[in-house]
Structures are given as C-alpha cells and as structure tokens.
C-alpha cells in the first residue's frame, strides 16, 4: 500500500476510532462509573443513526422524511431519541440486578432491530435511508475526510472533557461510592435511583450521537450496516481492555481494538474466498478470547481507574 | 376460525415451542439458582449442541439417535467452559462472570460459524406432512419433541427430588454456606450442574433445529425468550421454568392476533418487562438474588 | 483428658485480632456455656473451633488431635457439628430433607439416627413434610439442631440458639440440650441470655473483649458478684 493509500486508511480509521470512542465513553459512564450493564449498545446507536438520518435526509418515496433539517438538529435529535429510549428501560430495570438490566437491554436492542427492519414507512426497511447529508461533503475526497475527522475528534474531546469534569465532581465521587457499596446505596434510596437513571440516559445519548456521526459519514444507513452483537461486544471489550472507569482508557481501548479488528479484516480479505468467509468469524473468536484473557490477567485494563484525587474531608 | 384451526395452527405450535423454551429455561434457572449468575452463553451452547447433532447426522446417524450423544458432548464442553472461563472469576462480583459468558457466547457461535458456515441447514430434507390424531395435526418430530421434553422434565424432577446429588444441588441453591457445612462438595455440585445444563442446552438446540432449521444465530435468538421464561416462572425454580417456557411459547404463537407477525419475537420482551414491573419474583416466587 | 481443649487462641476475621488468648475446655457429656457482653468475642471463639477464623496463636485440640488449621469440612467429618445463629436451615427443603442433608456424609442405615432426632423433637415428626422456611422460629431452630445431630457428632456447637425465641421455646431448647448431653454428646454454646444459660449448664466461661474473665460451674458463676455486676443485671 502506497503512502497516500496509507494516509487515507489512517484518516478513515481515525474517524471510526472516534465514533467508537464516543460509544466507549458512553458505556464508561454507564458501566465504568455507575456499574450498569448495557448489553444493547447497538440499539441506542441505531436509534441515534436513524433519527438523525430521517430528519436530515432527502425525501424518498414510501418513507417518512425529506425534512432536510440542519445537521445540528439531526445530531441533537439523535441524542434525544437515544435518551428517550433509555429512560423507560432505566426506570423499569435499574432497580434490579445488573444482569436483569443486561437482559432488558438485549431485548430492547432486538426490538429496535425489528422495528428498523419492519417499519419501512419510517426507516426504509431493508433499503434503509439514503441521501443523508455530510458536513464538508462537497469537498474533494481527502479534505472531506480530514474535515470529518476534525469534527469527530472535536466531539470526542468535548465529550471527554465533559465526562471528566462530571467524574471529578462530587457527583462523580458519589456515583463511584454507590457503585462500590450497595449498602451505602440502599441507605440513600431515591437519590441513587435518580442518579443512576441520569448516568444511563446520558451514556445512551452519547451512543446516539455516535450513531449520528456514523450515518452522516456514510451518507446512508441500512439494517445490515451493523451486526448488533459484534458491535456491542466490540465496545465492551474496548472498554474492558482500555480500562473501565477511566475515560482515557475508553478512548485507548477503542483505538487498540478497532485497529486489531480492522487490520485483521484486511488480512483475512486477502485469503482465498473459500476460507475468507470462515476466517472472518475466526476474528470474532479471537476477540471473544481476548476478553477472557483480559478478564483473567489484567481485569483493570491498560489504564486502570484512577482513585479520587482529592483528600478526604474530615 | 374454527376451534381445530386454532388448536392446530396456534396452540399446538405454541406448546411445542413452549416446551423447547421450557427445557432451555430450566438450564438457565439452574445456573441462576445454584451458580447465581445469568448465563448469556446459554443460547449459543444450544446452537453448538444442535450443530454437533448435525455433524453426527451428516456422518450417517439418525437425528434422534444423535441427540443423546450431542447432549453428552455439550455436557462435557460445558464443564470445560466453566473450568476455563468462569471458575477463576468465582471470587469476583458475579456480573464479571456474566460478562465473560457474553464472550463465551461469541466464541461458541464463532466456532459454529467457522466450521459450519452461516447458511441455514436442516437435519432432514423434504416436506413432512403432519398426521391426523382425531383432528389434531402433529408431525412425528413434534410428537417426539413433546415426548422428549416430558421425559426430560420428569427425569430431572425425580433426580432433584429423590437422589442424593439432586438434593445436594437443591441445598446449594438454597443455602450454599450451610451446604458446605453439611459436607457438600461445592466443586462437584458445580460440575454436575454444568453437565446437566450442557445436556439441556443441547436438547433445546436440537429440538429447535429439528422443528425449524439450523443456523448460527439460532441459539442467540432464543436467549431472550428463555430468560424471560425463567424469570417469569420464578428464578431458581425448575417448575417455574417449565411454566414460564410454556407461557412464553404459547404467547408468542398467539401474539399474531395482536401484533404483526414480524414482532413475534417482541412478545418475550414484553412479558419480561411485565413480570419485572408487576411481580419481579415471578409467578412461583423465585429467589431474590 | 478433655474432649475439646482450646488454649490461648488468638485470631480474627481479617488483619485485626478479635480474640486475645482465649482458653476453653469441654469434657465428655458436658454442657459448657460461653457468655459475656456484646463484642466479647463469644461467637468468634466458637467459630475458631469450627475453622471459620484465622487463628494466629494458640491451639485447638479435639479428642487428642490438633485441629487448629483445619477447614470446616474436615472438622465436620471429625465429629464436630456447628449450628450457626442465622441461615441455619434449608428453607426450601422439607424438615425431613434438612435432616437428610445433615446426614449427607453418612452412609448406611440411618433409621436409628432419624429415630433419635424425631425422638428429641417430637413436634417435628408431624411436620416432616413441611418446608423448613414455613415453620416458626422456634421450630426452625429445632430443625437446625436436628440437622446437626444427624451426623452423630461428639461435640455440638450452638451459636445463640435461643436468639429471638419466646420463653417457651427457650425452655424447650435448653431441655433438648440437656437430653442431647444425656444421650452422650458434649455441647458448647454461646448465649446472650446469660442468667438462664448459666442456670442450666454444667460449666461456663465469661469472656470480655476477646479474653477469658471468669470460669466455673454455672451455679458458681451465677453466685459471683463480679459476674453479676458485669452484665447479668436484673
């Protein structure tokens, strides 16, 4: 691969790493800081993607749309839609064990997938939504890519700073205390429920935003675009490997895993077709195995959670 | 619609599906009760069992003869999975084991996908016409499925109620510390539980495959209904899992009277949310974990 | 030689010591009671005997064998049975199944053992098919004791067996304890109801802040002014 091709590939990867970093940051809020097991990440991602796509895209026959609203509206709507789905799920399931929440999120992701596939009038069914505008889309290829990378990177930075600030605040310390000590949590009652719900909803909103960024990058979205379980699982392992409870860890994990994932795809693509297809699934096996190894040998991840920096008040 | 039509096109398929869910849900509820975590690899373990049976059928065996061998194989594999991936997480919070099981699910599925590919397969080709039993239409495979489920449920119930190790399992589910004080070897019960769960997974996967078709996502797709069934019936209770399985299966088949056909799969989710809202301990009062 | 000889035991659950040199002996066919104010380390001393504590000093000898570092499952097989204060029955199993679990490690004909246990707890015979969790507190306590007795132990450890029970059940438990002793066992028990416990036991130990304070026969301790001042009050 020549230098230009390499540069192209790097920028392309950077954009996707940024999108996954947002997803990992969202999961970090939910799991890393609040101990909530969201196994339906792909669902919130899809909701954000479709919400933004429908609101901003060109009209299409047989499908709701053609509003051609500005990008910002689309992206805000993506966050709002994901949050709106998260809220009732959180309200019902957060008070239970974490694994009940996990099952419920698996369920909601499945429902979302069904709706996307079935309600063609809304989502375009298997055809999906096309004609989605892209910021700086009119520029030449390379400048357009770099512009998009800049947007994604900015958003990741903003999200990172926002979340870092929340985490370092008294709110953040309280959330970690609650996460680590169920008895303390029980003593605080209603307060805890509300805080957990906030964390769940806010994390989901970030995931919705990631979805929007994805769809505007590709200018279209179809149900096949994301394999829900692989996408969800990739983000989990990104967070665990990078370091759950650590925002930089989340971003680092996104980078490391995505690089491994997409480079391995490049390699398997070069294999003869008969085994290429099977080889792709071998990558899934390796990723699953990686999770087990991380859980066994370095459960805190590459960048472990930092303990609260401020001295205790007496 | 006539009564017979209702029976044949809705109730009977619902009962068949429900009994398959029941077998899966029993495994889930055993892991919940004795090992105290949600086993997310359950569905993909069922997929593995179904495909192991397929391999045997391809080698020339009859499907129902292949079933016991597949059950034994997955029983052993389940013990192996526990030793490799869950055992060392024992001291950590259970949710970490849940996460590991999600990883195991993906690994099991990937093995099936690499070895067998992703195209749908069947145990036997050709259309099978149902036989008429006084107006009720049943295919042989459906009859055998129901018989197998009844045998499994009764066999397991007798084992749990009357045998020494069945009681040990119940004791561990009830009060693990006291069980230990009574001399029950925790590790042996764990292995026994995984063996039974593995066999149940294989059975449910096989029955799913023989009544429909086999594909690599088949187990994952029934994970939610099986979990819903276990929680609906009351976590940790075998009778609850059977009841829950039947309810979910029948509800799914009857759901087309209320929902468009594509949303069948949403029924289980709706039931899950409903029971969590209204009676989280399940119909037969399961454990509070 | 004493059946149980606990000498100068030091230890705790974590890094800190709760016991600072506790010595207790139990002879054959004896009821020995441990009393003391809250936090004295009474239950802890008992747990040390059963291997549920990190013992860092001293020794525990049972029937001539040093069991200081043994794990509970090994101690059970050696002939000591422990009835915890809470969570001491299998609530989802019947009374009879609880007894069966008690005898899990035994093989062979157990009819004599069942006879003995139902003989000690006649009330439970009618309830043998009831779930243990459905019984009253007093009856559950009896199931707990019966479960422990199924293994035919030489020494029975009871942790606050009368906690939360009505006077009627308390008296029953004490009576049963005497019956068990007469049948040939030794019993070591921790009790919060110090007066009643000292009245019915053979010998007693008063512990405070993790160490021995007084010892003697039950009657002697009851009569002792210092013991009375300590906590028996009224």
- Which member of C73, C87, C104 has the closest CB to residue B168? C104
**pLDDT reading at A193 higher than 90:** no
Which chains, if any, share at least 3 CB pairs under 8 A with chain B?
A: A, C
Per-residue pLDDT, averaged over C79-101, amounts to 91
A313: confidence class by pLDDT, cuts 50, 70, 90: very low
Per-residue pLDDT, averaged over B189-202, amounts to 96
Distance separating alpha carbons of residues C43 and C53, to the nearest angstrom? 11
Any contact of B with A, at least 3 CB pairs below 8 A? yes
A309: confidence class by pLDDT, cuts 50, 70, 90: very low
Report ipTM (2 d.p.): 0.88
Count of CB atoms situated within 10 Å of the CB of B93: 12
Count of CB atoms situated within 10 Å of the CB of A309: 7
Nearest CA to A12 among A148, A140, A135?
A: A148
Distance separating alpha carbons of residues A104 and A91, to the nearest angstrom? 12
Task: Establish how many alpha carbons lie within 13 A of residue B105's alpha carbon, considering only the half-sphere containing its beta carbon.
Answer: 25
A119: confidence class by pLDDT, cuts 50, 70, 90: confident
At C56, list the tokens.
């860092």
Question: Is residue B24 domain-resident?
Answer: yes
**pLDDT reading at B190 higher than 50:** yes
* Domain-wise residue ranges, chain A: 3-226
Any contact of A with C, at least 3 CB pairs below 8 A? no
Q: Collect all residues of chain A within an 8 Å Cβ-Cβ radius of residue B271.
A: none
CATH of the domain at B254: 1.10.3470
Q: Which residue has the higher pLDDT, C53 or A309?
A: C53
At B274, list the tokens.
């409903």
Distance separating alpha carbons of residues B24 and C25, to the nearest angstrom? 54
Q: Collect all residues of chain B within an 8 Å Cβ-Cβ radius of residue C87.
A: 175, 177-178
**pLDDT reading at B165 higher than 70:** yes
pLDDT digits (tens, 9 = 90+) for C1-55: 788 888 888 888 888 888 888 899 999 999 999 988 887 888 888 888 888 888 8
Our separate counts of H helices and E strands in chain C read 10, 10
Taking phi over 0 as left and psi of -120 to 50 as alpha, with beta for the rest, A69 belongs to beta
Amino acid A161: pLDDT: 92
Question: Is residue C222 domain-resident?
Answer: no
pLDDT digits (tens, 9 = 90+) for A229-274: 788 999 999 999 999 888 999 999 999 999 988 888 888 887 787 7
**Cα of B98 to nearest chain C Cα, Å:** 26
A185: confidence class by pLDDT, cuts 50, 70, 90: low
Per-residue pLDDT, averaged over A207-226, amounts to 88
Residue of chain A nearest B106, judged by CA positions: A288
B110 in A contact zone (CB under 8 Å): yes
Question: Is residue C54 domain-resident?
Answer: no
Question: Is residue B59 domain-resident?
Answer: yes
Residue of chain B nearest C80, judged by CA positions: B181
- What's chain A's average pLDDT? 85
Question: Is residue C110 domain-resident?
Answer: yes
- What's chain C's average pLDDT? 87
**Cα of C199 to nearest chain B Cα, Å:** 30
Burial class of residue A208 in the structure, from the number of CB atoms within 10 Å of its CB (0-12 exposed, 13-18 middle, 19+ buried): buried
**pLDDT reading at A85 higher than 50:** yes
Question: Is residue B161 domain-resident?
Answer: yes
- What's chain B's average pLDDT? 91
Question: Is residue C15 domain-resident?
Answer: no
Domain count, chain B: 1
Cβ-defined contact of C87 to B178 (cutoff 8 Å):
yes
Residue of chain B nearest A38, judged by CA positions: B99
Amino acid B4: pLDDT: 80
Amino acid B23: pLDDT: 96
Interface residue of B165, B175, B234 to substitute, partner C, most C CBs within 10 Å = B175
Amino acid C105: pLDDT: 84
Amino acid A133: pLDDT: 82
Per-residue pLDDT, averaged over B139-144, amounts to 88
Per-residue pLDDT, averaged over C187-215, amounts to 87
**Cα of A259 to nearest chain B Cα, Å:** 19
Amino acid A310: pLDDT: 35
A80 in B contact zone (CB under 8 Å): no
Q: Collect all residues of chain C within an 8 Å Cβ-Cβ radius of residue B170.
A: 90, 92-93, 97
Tell me if the pTM is above 0.80: yes
- Which member of A96, A118, A229 has the closest CB to residue B276? A96
Binding-site residues on chain B for chain C (CB distance < 8 A):
164, 167-168, 170-171, 173-175, 177-185
Residue of chain B nearest A229, judged by CA positions: B106
Cβ-defined contact of A118 to B104 (cutoff 8 Å):
no
Cβ-defined contact of B106 to A37 (cutoff 8 Å):
no
The least confident of B28-32, B208-212, B259-263, C5-9 is B259-263
Amino acid A307: pLDDT: 61
Distance separating alpha carbons of residues A258 and A238, to the nearest angstrom? 8
- Which member of A104, A106, A295 has the closest CB to residue B273? A104
Residue of chain C nearest B286, judged by CA positions: C92
Per-residue pLDDT, averaged over A27-31, amounts to 93
**Structural domain boundaries, residue B210:** 3-119+134-278
Per-residue pLDDT, averaged over B219-236, amounts to 93
**Structural domain boundaries, residue C145:** 87-151
The least confident of A292-296, B251-255, C1-5, C92-96 is C1-5
Domain count, chain C: 1
Cβ-defined contact of B183 to C84 (cutoff 8 Å):
no
B289 in A contact zone (CB under 8 Å): yes
**Cα of B214 to nearest chain A Cα, Å:** 17
* The three-state (H, E, C) secondary structure of chain A, written as one string: CCHHHHHHHHHHHHHHHHHHHHHHHHHHHHHHCCCCCCCCHHHHHHHHHHHHHHHHCCCECCECCCCCCCHHHHHHHHHHHHHHHHHHHHHHHCCCCHHHHHHHHHHHHHHHHHHHHHCHHHHCCCCCECCCCCCCCCCCHHHHHHHHHHHHHHHHHHHHHHHHHHHHCHHHHHHHHHHHCHHHHHHHCHHHHHHHHHHHHHHHHHHHHHHHHHHHHHCCECHHHCCHHHHHHHHHHHHHHHCCCCHHHHHHHHHHHHHHHHHHHHHHHCCCHHHHHHHHHHHHHHHHHHHHHHHHHCCCCCCCCCCCCCCCCC
Amino acid B195: pLDDT: 97
**Cα of C39 to nearest chain B Cα, Å:** 24
Per-residue pLDDT, averaged over B113-121, amounts to 88
C232: confidence class by pLDDT, cuts 50, 70, 90: low
% of chain B with per-residue pLDDT over 70: 99
Amino acid B139: pLDDT: 84
**pLDDT reading at B253 higher than 50:** yes
Amino acid A271: pLDDT: 79
Interface residue of B34, B176, B181 to substitute, partner C, most C CBs within 10 Å = B181
C96: confidence class by pLDDT, cuts 50, 70, 90: very high
A184: confidence class by pLDDT, cuts 50, 70, 90: low
């Amino acid at each position: 691969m020549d230098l230009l091709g390499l540069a192209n590939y790097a920028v392309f990867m950077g954009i996707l790493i940024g999108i996954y970093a947002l997803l990992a940051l969202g999961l970090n809020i939910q799991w890393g800081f609040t101990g909530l097991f969201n196994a339906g990440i792909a669902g919130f991602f899809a909701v954000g993607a479709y919400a933004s796509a429908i609101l901003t895209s060109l009209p299409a026959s047989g499908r709701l749309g053609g509003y051609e609203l500005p990008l910002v509206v689309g992206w805000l709507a993506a966050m709002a839609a994901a949050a709106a789905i998260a809220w009732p799920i959180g309200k019902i399931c957060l008070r239970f064990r974490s694994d009940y929440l996990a099952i419920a999120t698996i369920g909601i992701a499945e429902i979302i997938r069904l709706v996307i596939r079935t309600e063609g009038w809304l989502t375009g069914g298997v055809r999906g939504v096309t004609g989605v505008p892209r910021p700086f889309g009119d520029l030449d290829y390379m400048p357009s890519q770099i512009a998009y990378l800049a947007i994604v990177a900015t958003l990741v930075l903003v999200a990172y700073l926002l979340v870092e600030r929340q985490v370092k605040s008294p709110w953040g310390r309280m959330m970690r205390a609650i996460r680590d000590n169920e008895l303390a949590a029980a003593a605080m009652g209603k307060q805890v429920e509300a805080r957990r719900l906030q964390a769940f909803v806010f994390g989901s909103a970030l995931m919705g935003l990631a979805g929007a960024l994805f769809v505007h990058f590709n200018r279209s979205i179809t149900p096949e675009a994301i394999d829900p379980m692989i996408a969800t699982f990739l983000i989990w392992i990104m967070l665990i490997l990078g370091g759950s409870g650590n925002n930089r860890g989340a971003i680092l994990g996104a980078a490391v895993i995505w690089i491994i994932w997409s480079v391995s795809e490049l390699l398997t693509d070069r294999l003869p077709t008969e085994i290429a297809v099977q080889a792709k699934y071998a990558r899934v096996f390796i990723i699953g195995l990686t999770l087990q190894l991380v859980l066994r040998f370095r459960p805190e991840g590459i960048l472990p959670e930092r303990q609260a920096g401020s001295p205790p008040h007496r | 619609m006539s009564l017979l039509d209702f029976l044949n096109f809705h109730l009977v398929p619902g009962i068949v599906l429900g009994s398959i869910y029941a077998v899966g849900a029993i495994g889930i509820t055993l892991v919940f009760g004795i090992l105290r975590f949600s086993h997310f690899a359950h569905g993909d373990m069922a997929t593995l069992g179904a495909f192991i049976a397929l391999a045997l059928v391809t080698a020339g065996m009859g499907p129902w003869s292949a079933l016991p061998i597949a059950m034994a194989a997955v029983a052993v594999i389940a013990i192996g999975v526990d030793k490799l991936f869950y055992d060392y997480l024992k001291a950590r919070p259970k949710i970490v084991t849940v996460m590991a099981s999600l990883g195991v699910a993906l690994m099991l599925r990937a093995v099936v996908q690499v070895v067998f590919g992703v195209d749908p397969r069947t145990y036997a080709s050709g259309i099978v016409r149902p036989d008429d039993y006084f107006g009720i239409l049943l295919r042989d495979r459906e009859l055998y499925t129901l018989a197998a489920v009844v045998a499994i449920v009764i066999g397991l119930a007798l084992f749990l109620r009357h045998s020494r190790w069945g009681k040990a399992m119940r004791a561990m589910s009830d009060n693990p510390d006291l069980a230990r004080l009574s001399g029950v070897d925790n590790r042996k019960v764990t292995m026994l539980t995984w063996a039974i769960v593995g066999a149940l997974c294989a059975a449910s996967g096989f029955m799913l495959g023989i009544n429909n078709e086999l594909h690599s996502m088949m187990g994952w797709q029934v994970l939610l209904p099986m979990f819903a069934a276990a929680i609906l019936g009351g976590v940790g209770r075998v009778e609850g899992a059977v009841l829950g399985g039947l309810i979910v299966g029948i509800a799914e088949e009857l759901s087309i009277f209320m929902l468009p056909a594509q949303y069948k799969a949403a029924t289980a989710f709706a039931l899950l949310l409903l029971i969590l809202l209204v009676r989280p301990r399940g119909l037969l009062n399961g454990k509070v974990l | 030689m004493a059946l149980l000889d606990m000498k100068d035991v030091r230890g705790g659950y974590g890094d800190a010591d709760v016991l600072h040199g506790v010595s207790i002996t139990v002879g054959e066919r004896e009821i020995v009671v441990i009393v003391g104010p809250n936090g004295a380390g009474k239950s802890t001393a008992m747990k040390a005997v059963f291997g549920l504590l990190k013992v860092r000093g001293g020794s525990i000898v049972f029937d001539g064998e040093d069991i200081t570092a043994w794990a509970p499952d090994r101690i059970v097989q050696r002939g000591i049975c422990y009835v915890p204060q809470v969570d001491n029955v299998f609530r989802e199993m019947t009374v009879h199944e609880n007894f069966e679990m008690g005898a899990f490690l035994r093989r062979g004909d157990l009819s004599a053992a069942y006879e003995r246990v139902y003989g000690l707890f006649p009330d439970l015979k009618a309830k043998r098919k009831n779930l243990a969790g459905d019984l009253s507190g007093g009856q559950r306590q009896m199931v707990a004791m019966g479960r422990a007795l199924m293994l035919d132990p030489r020494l029975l450890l009871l942790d606050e067996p009368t906690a939360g029970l009505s006077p009627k059940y308390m008296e029953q438990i004490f009576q049963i304890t005497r019956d068990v002793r007469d049948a040939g066992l030794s019993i070591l028990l921790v009790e919060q109801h110090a007066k009643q416990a000292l009245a019915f036991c053979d010998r007693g130990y008063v512990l405070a802040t993790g160490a021995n304070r007084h010892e003697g026969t039950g009657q002697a301790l009851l009569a002792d002014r210092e013991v009375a001042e300590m906590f028996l009050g009224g």
